[in-house]
Amino acid sequence: MNGVVVVHAGAGTWRFFNRDEVTKVIKSSLRAGIEALKRGGTALDAVVNATIVLEDSGILNAGLGSVVDALGRLTMDAGVMDGYTGRAGAVAAVTYPKNPVVLARKVMELTDHIILSGSGADELAFRLNLPKHPGPTERVLKLYKEYVSKADPTSVRFAKNVKIAKELGMLDTVGAVALDNDGRLAAAVSTGGIILKFPGRVGDSAIPGAGFYADRYGAAVATGVGETIMMSLLTYRAVQLIKEGYTAITAAKMALQFHTSLFGKDTAGLIIVDRSGTPYGAYNTQAMPWGYIRVDMEEPYISGFPETT
> Is 169 part of any known ligand binding site?
no
For the CB of residue 288, give the shortest distance to ligand GLY in the complex, in Å: 12
Region binding ligand GLY by CB under 6 A among candidate stretches 140-148, 188-196, 252-260, 301-309: 188-196
> Is 269 part of any known ligand binding site?
no
Region binding ligand GLY by CB under 6 A among candidate stretches 78-86, 94-102, 187-195, 269-277: 187-195
Binding flag, residue 223, ligand GLY (CB under 6 A): yes
Binding flag, residue 232, ligand GLY (CB under 6 A): no
Name which of residues 199 to 218 contact ligand GLY (CB under 6 A): 203-205
Q: Is 14 exposed, middle or buried (0-12, 13-18, 19+ CB in 10 A)?
A: buried
Q: What is the DSSP letter of 45?
A: H
Neighbouring C-beta atoms of residue 119, cutoff 10 Å: 13
Q: Is 173 a catalytic residue?
A: yes
d(CA 126, CA 277): 37
Binding flag, residue 225, ligand GLY (CB under 6 A): yes
> Is 226 part of any known ligand binding site?
yes
Q: What are phi and psi of 308, to 5 degrees?
A: -85, -15
Residue 25: its H or E element: helix 19-38
End-to-end Cα separation, the chain, in angstroms: 37
Binding flag, residue 193, ligand GLY (CB under 6 A): yes
Out of 226, 269, 281, 300, the only residue in the binding site for ligand GLY (CB under 6 A) is: 226
Bridge partners for 282 per DSSP: 270
Interface with ligand GLY (CB under 6 A): 77, 173, 191, 193-194, 203-205, 223-226
